[in-house]
Structure 1
Amino acid sequence: MSSDAPDAFDPGAGIAAEVETARIEQEMEQSYIDYAMSVIAGRALPDVRDGLKPVHRRILYAMHEAGVTARSSHRKSSSIVGETMGDYHPHGDSAIYDTLARMAQDFSMRYPLVDGQGNFGSVDGDPPAAMRYTEARMAPIAEELLEDIEMDTVDFQSNYDDRLEEPEVLPAAFPNLLVNGSSGIAVGMSTNIPPHNLGEVIDATVHLIEDPDATVEDLMEHVKGPDFPTGANIVGRNAIHKAYKTGRGRIRVRAEFEVEEDDRIVITELPFQQNKARLVERIADDVNEGKIEGIRDLRDESDRDGIRVVVELKRGANAEVVKNQLLEHHLESTFGVINLALVDGQPRVLTLKETLVEYLEHRREVVRRRSRSELEEKEERAHILEGRLTALEHVDDVVEVIRNSESRDDAKAALRGEHVVEVDGEPLPSFDFSEAQADHIVAMQLGSLTAMEAGEIESEYEDVQARIERLEAILEDPDELDAVVEDELLEIKDEYDDDRRTSIIEDTGTVTHEDLIAEEDVVVVVTEDDYIKRMPLDTFRAQHRGGKGIIGTELKEGDRVSSVYVASTHDYLLYFTNHGQVYQLKTYQVPEMSRTARGKSAVNLLDLDDGEEITAVVNTAEMESEEEKFLTMTTRNGYIKRTSVEKFQNIRSTGIIATKLDEDDALADVEVTDGTRDLILASRGGMAIRFAEEEVRAMGRSARGVRGIDLEGDDEVAAVAAVDPDRHQWVLTVTENGYGKRTDIDEYRRQSRNGKGLIDIKTNDRNGRVCELETVGPGDHLFVMSGEGQILRTPVEDLSTVGRNTMGVIVMELDAGDSVASVDVHFPSDGEGPEDEDGDDGDDASDAADGDTAGTE
């Protein structure tokens, strides 16, 4: 091989020897961990000891070093930012200025640490003015965080370029972490600590000093809960207790507002960190979109004295409903507590007690180091004073020695006993002063040799000795140390304590959808094709009997009304169907529509099968009682049964079985009873039977029941009614052709069940078959609805009282081909009387004119 050939490549030589082989997964993992810990410890999380992040600490320390204290004049924010960035925090001026501005905002900090001058932003989300326009200085309470920092109370570390030193933590004369709170997002974790009242936190800290075994519950006797700078209300105490006991919790914060008598709601305090301008804008948007009804005007009347947002209500609007709508969407927020802070450089979630324990350990160390530093200083001073006193006792000899020394150094050496001064060959007295004492004596002025000066030195020496004894006691006795910590905390409290801003109110539950619906009586209409809707009850004013009523619903071709009933929007209703199923629905879930609207398909609200129709509706308000209640059901074929209402407590969205039915049978009607009443079953053929409820034993939901009435031919059951022994009642019967009658209940004698009963009403061609039978009392109103959608509301007492087995009188005038579809009875709360709006003069001259003639059994 030629000697000129290049050498073979050696991977172990040259630069390649410095390359290390590593798996990329491991390198990425370690690098990311290093980055995460840098963010956690160096930027995002506060230290449990002083409650500050590095940027806050550096700003305050830079102001301290520059002399921008509470006693100095304000300085341009740009100057403070520049010094902080240049000396301690090389992360950009915008981040530093944003932090400085926040420390000056009284709506962000419970106790602002910076006294700002100029525009530092607003609760409306306005940004601060540029740093060249604003000025700042330390707030007095911020100086308490830095107090005694020169006395070796905390450790220092080199700044980013090793030119200067900065404190690792501030002495912090009060528990700033809890007092001002903190928030931040690190890598993989975040912190969100609410602010608190200074006096309450200090009281809890003092309590913990006096009772180290105190529990979180004990400390909560002092710390009632967070105290936000914007005030407002915390709803409930359970979430506070959980947050303090575990370090995590979700606290509901509600705005402070008042519903005034002149139809307006005035908001005066907002939840912490809520943007007022954005709040007003979102409320206005919801009003414009129809999500919130009843608001006429919205104004922001806030000024420097505080927040004032006025919500003007429309005339007749329900203030309670509007209030609940605002609460659900705008006036409540959740503050998620994550009490995460750095403890010995490691992130930890802390309980209330652990937070205070960590602070107390820091504060004890600060006082200990300060006492040790002061003790060294006092001991040095005492040593000097001892030398001065000795010098004064031998003042003539000391002066003679100094005067006859050849130089200052010779004089110091002579005073230290290292050199003998002679005068005329005779040695002068020698002394045994220390170097420090000798230096001080040589530097003394002649004026300090007076008797008065000597007395002052002796007095000072006594004071210094007393202070030394006190400092030694503090360092040797933990109780004395704690007493100092406690006294200093109470001094801070006396200086800066103020009243709590945030109130804590009882938790009455979250605002539900029901709270957003005005409670009012409504008329609900259901058609055979399962269209359903509700209308306000006052849409239908009472008329005299015999009128046509007014339109109650628009029907599609071929559809007819199947039922009508009156209920409150807050009532739970049980819907029973011809298939023997029962469903549950809140009245307000039925869509509200106008009289001329068709309604919404009930299939969207109730899981009905094909051919399944609603035949009875029961209001659960009738079932609420300390006494046992029953649902008494009857079928078309005459079966009847009672089932305890307890069997209907958990009704699924798909419904549950209410009763077993024969193949050719259907559920006809349902009534709420109490086990002690008489029941009246009415047939479509005009028969009625009255018997004791106790004749029908209580059964389960899957039972068919027992015979209630013996029907003839193709007759079938129309209705069941219960007799209330505590109320004067009549039996009201209405037929398909709009006729009806009111009869004393005593005319229906009690029989045994499964009889044929008595004739209730003539069911001839004029009357038609029986549509409904109800037991009614004085003041009740009758709602009659025709198949074509007409509704008539009339007082039952408009119907003359007649005997059983009669023809009855006209109740509702029907168009040709129309018939009565449903009847309901309601007792109005307003005592509304009849209004003759239908053209009827109200003078039905005689029962005979209406064909009201008595018959015989």
Structure 2
Amino acid sequence: MSSDVPDTPDVPAERVEPVRIEDEMEQSYIDYAMSVIVGRALPDARDGLKPVQRRILYAMHEMGVTSRSSHRKSSSIVGDTMGNYHPHGDSAIYDALARMAQDFSLRYPLVDGQGNFGSVDGDPPAAMRYTEARMAPIAEELLDDIDKDTVDFEGNYDDRLTEPAVLPAAVPNLLVNGASGIAVGMSTNLPPHNLGEVIDAAIHLIDHPDCAVADLIDTPDSDGYIKGPDFPSGAKIVNREGLWNAYTEGRGRLRVRADIETEYADSGGDRIVITELPYQENKARRIERIADDVQNEKIDGIRDIRDESDRNGIRVVIECKRSANADVVRNQLLEHHLERTFSVISLALVDGQPRVLNLKELLEQFVEHRREVVRRRSQFELDEAEDRAHILEGRLIALDNVDGVVELIRDSEDRDAAMAGLRTEYELSEAQAEHVVRMQLGSLTSMEAGEIEAEYGDVQAEIQRLETILNDESELLGVIKDELQEIKAEYADERRTEIIEDAGSVTREDLIAEEQVVVAVSESDYVKRMSLSDFDPQHRGGKGIIGSRPKEGDRISTVFTASTHDYLLCFTNQGQVYRLKVFELPEMGRTARGTSAVNIIDLDDGEEITAVVNTDDVDQGYLAMATRNGYVKRTAVSAFENVHSGGIRALRLEDDDSLVDVEVTPGDGDLLLGTREGMTIRFAESDARPMGRSARGVNGIDLEGEDRVAGLVAATADDDRHLLTVTKNGYGKRTPLSEYRRQSRYGKGLIDIKTDDRNGPVCAINAVSEGDGLVIMSEAGQIMRTHVGEVSRIGRNTKGVVVMRLDDDDHVAGVDVVPNVESDDEDVDESD
């Protein structure tokens, strides 16, 4: 079968090198990565621009689209940039152009845009055919003197044209406008800074090249120059440690916080007004997410959100509910929405290689670049001045010999002969002779001669100045400083971003309003907290109101009051102690059952909380513990400094014993034990020597028959408080502590209260003052709040009076004292 394709003879390769495929893949990937790093993603440390930004500005320069020209269609600028310098997609070029025009992205925009170039709400720019642009004045400072051989040029992508490898950049653009970019395996993220501060730091570095990085940073402890990033959107930076790391190491993490104002109203319904957002935050999306969290009840206390922003700035108004605490709502917003982390990575190209630079190194790269630009510019201007002086010298020679020159030129056959004659007769150079031949007769007047002589003197002075700059380093640096001062005077403005002291991250505790709460725990280990203000004080003998609805077969076993910001030590009947944050308890309504405590505290089966101690009270001294069978033990509070989540052992118990109560003691006071049958013994605290956590303790009271300990009270020798005793059936009394004389430990004690069928057994004993309040809760979930003054003050060995009226099948579950509640300050509910 014939074929139309001619046979091609095999030609042996001149050289074949075997290469391992993994080596080839590695090298090819490295080449690709470096191409992306150098050619697209990272800024140059000298002018702070990525290639696409540099090419856009240079294309505008070549097009004559300066700050003094009219605006030009963005599509025209993008087209010239893409066709001549940047052979990539037009959308990428337009995105870069639009960002350089956004005053919310760049601290000092490089493009003066006309039309819709996007917004802080995330709106995209209008199509490039609808927008117009020209260079901003400060952008011209980046291109100034580019035609004076100040930078190297290289061929464009198809070698038709040349483009600058870097711009002359009279402005420290990398620090001033920052940069962000993601390359292959690395990224950069430099925040913008205030122009005046950066220039002051650069001038200081020029004057003191051996200064430390710390000398450039303005902190409360040092008088430097750069306070920190200065975002176009303002806001606040709240951690100086992150700033220090960013400037000294080139990497750091900053917390940027929105600017928030709280407008308090006397009638409630406070307002939280957001006037500035963190840098590059999408306002519309953030408002939407806040609204979602409000709807999903992740944030409480907000009733309305309005965006009142306009051309003058951001204003987002958040209306709080009348019952809400505006400070708590503010903290919730900061925790979830209005504070973000800005990671600083000062990565830039130095000699074509990516490097992480600290603040001093960033400024050194700019200063060294300016030194080279000024040197090359001065050399270029010197060459031009010397060329001009050379021409002027020829003209002056011609003027001095005007008659001979005119005659020589007139007698010459042609121009070349005239030039040759001038060179021979008056020793002129070829350039001088050519210029003299081309001179007009009008320039031979005496006035023209005077102007030439004056110009020659000016040129000689300029030559001398330029030679001084090139030969004297201090003069060259002086030129750089003078030009920087001019830039500062023209473009510098006030800071927008405030640096505030770091008060620490917003904690969960900050998100909870501080208030007194009632905590109820059931025998089945259901727990919840309720605001104490939900329960109005009543007179003695009231029935209270519903505080909980235990499930069938369950009943309330413990009740105590605390602040939502309190940290508690919770002791259980099995002798374990756990650490609990009150705000971690679920807040529920009065009729709710609660949440299983195992979700908060790791309780074993049959383990119940029987005593609670506030850690604010546990500073020094001892914890005295009393057991059901009459044992007492004292342990130094230092033994409970580290209570881990799984709890620790507080004391050792016998099989049929359980922990009943715990009190904080000073070490030199008295202890009172009260029993269920109404007996009370008071003895010196020192009679029970301090023991370790694993000890059982010593006998505190000699119990008769089936009697058991009901509670423990700590008192001092001259204590003027009263002993409050409350029985299971809701009866109680107050008796001065002074009526309970001190005895020896392990005695039978004295009769405190009669426990007959009416009273029932003792439920709780507490030491109370006249101004204290009481919270009493029944096993069925009724809560009554009253004042200590409502409970009659009577002696020992009496029955007492009704404190809380109970249903027939209900009993008191627990009593807690709310210290320092004056009855005159609160209204007493007259109802039962």
Bin of the TM-score, shorter chain as denominator length: over 0.9
Letter of the aligned partner of 1:737 in structure 2? Answer: N
Tell me what 1:673 maps to: 665
The correspondence of residues 820-839 of structure 1 with structure 2, limited to 5 A, is 820-827=812-819, 831=823, 832-833=825-826, 835-839=828-832
CA contact 1:533–1:592 (8 Å) conserved in 2: yes
Tell me what 2:488 maps to: 493
3-state DSSP of counterpart to 1:546: coil
The correspondence of residues 82-161 of structure 1 with structure 2, limited to 5 A, is 82-161=79-158
Separation (CA, whole Å) in 1 of partners of 2:750 and 2:73: 101
Separation (CA, whole Å) in 2 of partners of 1:651 and 1:161: 73
1:24, distance to aligned residue in structure 2 (A): 2.5
| Bigger mean CA deviation after superposition, 143-152 or 797-806 | 797-806
1:63, distance to aligned residue in structure 2 (A): 0.3
CA contact 2:557–2:814 (8 Å) conserved in 1: yes
Tell me what 1:26 maps to: 23
CA contact 1:638–1:709 (8 Å) conserved in 2: yes
Unaligned segments of structure 2, at least 5 residues = 1-6, 218-223
Tell me what 2:434 maps to: 439
Change over 3 Å in CA distance of 1:784–1:11 after alignment to 2: farther
CA contact 1:728–1:778 (8 Å) conserved in 2: no
Letter of the aligned partner of 2:644 in structure 1? Answer: R
1:644, distance to aligned residue in structure 2 (A): 2.3
| Bigger mean CA deviation after superposition, 17-26 or 387-396 | 17-26
Q: 1:521 aligns with which of 516, 535, 546?
A: 516
Separation (CA, whole Å) in 2 of partners of 1:271 and 1:217: 26
CA contact 1:677–1:722 (8 Å) conserved in 2: yes
Q: 1:478 aligns with which of 461, 473, 482?
A: 473
Tell me what 1:414 maps to: 421
Residue 278 in 1 paired to residue 285 in 2? Answer: yes
Residue 254 in 1 paired to residue 254 in 2? Answer: no
3-state DSSP of counterpart to 2:711: strand
- Cα distance per residue 1:302-345 (max 9 Å; x no partner): 00000000001111210011001110111011111111100000
Tell me what 2:366 maps to: 359
Tell me what 1:755 maps to: 747
3-state DSSP of counterpart to 1:311: strand
1:833, distance to aligned residue in structure 2 (A): 3.9
Residue 662 in 1 paired to residue 631 in 2? Answer: no
3-state DSSP of counterpart to 1:416: helix
CA contact 1:70–1:139 (8 Å) conserved in 2: yes
CA contact 2:772–2:821 (8 Å) conserved in 1: no
3-state DSSP of counterpart to 2:426: coil
3-state DSSP of counterpart to 1:225: coil
Q: 1:173 aligns with which of 170, 173, 184?
A: 170
Separation (CA, whole Å) in 2 of partners of 1:150 and 1:27: 43
Separation (CA, whole Å) in 2 of partners of 1:644 and 1:403: 122
Separation (CA, whole Å) in 2 of partners of 1:26 and 1:573: 63
Letter of the aligned partner of 2:438 in structure 1? Answer: A
- Cα distance per residue 1:57-87 (max 9 Å; x no partner): 0000000001000010100111101111110
| Bigger mean CA deviation after superposition, 401-410 or 489-498 | 401-410
Tell me what 1:331 maps to: 338
CA contact 2:46–2:166 (8 Å) conserved in 1: yes
Tell me what 2:221 maps to: none
Tell me what 2:3 maps to: none
Separation (CA, whole Å) in 2 of partners of 1:277 and 1:162: 46
Tell me what 1:810 maps to: 802
Unaligned segments of structure 1, at least 5 residues = 1-9, 418-429, 840-857
- Cα distance per residue 1:127-176 (max 9 Å; x no partner): 11111111100000000000000000000000011110000000000110
Letter of the aligned partner of 1:507 in structure 2? Answer: D
Residue 638 in 1 paired to residue 630 in 2? Answer: yes
3-state DSSP of counterpart to 2:337: helix
CA contact 1:234–1:502 (8 Å) conserved in 2: yes
- Cα distance per residue 1:237-294 (max 9 Å; x no partner): 1100101111111111000010002310010000011001101111111111111111
Separation (CA, whole Å) in 2 of partners of 1:645 and 1:191: 52
CA contact 1:795–1:833 (8 Å) conserved in 2: no
Letter of the aligned partner of 1:99 in structure 2? Answer: A
Change over 3 Å in CA distance of 1:762–1:340 after alignment to 2: same
3-state DSSP of counterpart to 2:453: helix
Residue 206 in 1 paired to residue 213 in 2? Answer: no
Tell me what 2:705 maps to: 713
Tell me what 1:78 maps to: 75
3-state DSSP of counterpart to 2:81: helix
Change over 3 Å in CA distance of 1:693–1:12 after alignment to 2: farther
The correspondence of residues 369-380 of structure 1 with structure 2, limited to 5 A, is 369-380=376-387
The correspondence of residues 638-787 of structure 1 with structure 2, limited to 5 A, is 638-723=630-715, 728-787=720-779
Letter of the aligned partner of 2:650 in structure 1? Answer: A
CA contact 1:794–1:834 (8 Å) conserved in 2: no
Tell me what 1:452 maps to: 447
Residue 66 in 1 paired to residue 59 in 2? Answer: no
Change over 3 Å in CA distance of 1:834–1:501 after alignment to 2: closer
Separation (CA, whole Å) in 1 of partners of 2:481 and 2:699: 84
3-state DSSP of counterpart to 1:485: helix
Separation (CA, whole Å) in 1 of partners of 2:318 and 2:42: 40
Tell me what 2:500 maps to: 505
Q: TM-score when scaled to structure 1?
A: 0.93
Q: 2:245 aligns with which of 228, 242, 245?
A: 242
Tell me what 2:229 maps to: 226
Q: 2:606 aligns with which of 608, 611, 615?
A: 611
Separation (CA, whole Å) in 2 of partners of 1:178 and 1:124: 26
Change over 3 Å in CA distance of 1:834–1:317 after alignment to 2: closer
- Cα distance per residue 1:71-113 (max 9 Å; x no partner): 1010011110111111001101111111111100000111000
Separation (CA, whole Å) in 2 of partners of 1:280 and 1:614: 44
Separation (CA, whole Å) in 1 of partners of 2:450 and 2:704: 130
Residue 600 in 1 paired to residue 595 in 2? Answer: yes
Residue 296 in 1 paired to residue 291 in 2? Answer: no
Separation (CA, whole Å) in 1 of partners of 2:605 and 2:187: 55
CA contact 1:74–1:117 (8 Å) conserved in 2: yes
1:669, distance to aligned residue in structure 2 (A): 0.3
Separation (CA, whole Å) in 1 of partners of 2:634 and 2:617: 15
Q: 1:581 aligns with which of 570, 576, 592?
A: 576
- Cα distance per residue 1:421-446 (max 9 Å; x no partner): xxxxxxxxx21011111111111222
3-state DSSP of counterpart to 1:660: coil
| Bigger mean CA deviation after superposition, 455-464 or 717-726 | 717-726
Letter of the aligned partner of 2:492 in structure 1? Answer: D
Please give the root-mean-square deviation of Cα atoms over the aligned residues, in Å.
Answer: 1.7
Separation (CA, whole Å) in 2 of partners of 1:726 and 1:370: 92
CA contact 1:795–1:834 (8 Å) conserved in 2: no
Separation (CA, whole Å) in 1 of partners of 2:517 and 2:38: 62
Separation (CA, whole Å) in 2 of partners of 1:131 and 1:195: 26
CA contact 1:235–1:504 (8 Å) conserved in 2: yes
Residue 550 in 1 paired to residue 556 in 2? Answer: no
Separation (CA, whole Å) in 2 of partners of 1:331 and 1:288: 18
1:727, distance to aligned residue in structure 2 (A): 7.0
- Cα distance per residue 1:773-809 (max 9 Å; x no partner): 1110112111111112211111111111111111111
What is the percent sequence identity of the aligned residues? 70
CA contact 1:727–1:777 (8 Å) conserved in 2: no
3-state DSSP of counterpart to 1:14: coil
Letter of the aligned partner of 1:800 in structure 2? Answer: S
3-state DSSP of counterpart to 2:691: coil
CA contact 2:672–2:682 (8 Å) conserved in 1: yes
Letter of the aligned partner of 1:743 in structure 2? Answer: T
CA contact 1:74–1:136 (8 Å) conserved in 2: yes
CA contact 1:685–1:770 (8 Å) conserved in 2: yes
The higher radius of gyration belongs to 1
Separation (CA, whole Å) in 1 of partners of 2:71 and 2:564: 62
CA contact 1:11–1:17 (8 Å) conserved in 2: no
CA contact 2:777–2:813 (8 Å) conserved in 1: yes
3-state DSSP of counterpart to 2:154: strand
Tell me what 1:540 maps to: 535
Q: TM-score when scaled to structure 2?
A: 0.96
Separation (CA, whole Å) in 1 of partners of 2:78 and 2:604: 73
Change over 3 Å in CA distance of 1:371–1:830 after alignment to 2: farther
CA contact 1:544–1:834 (8 Å) conserved in 2: no
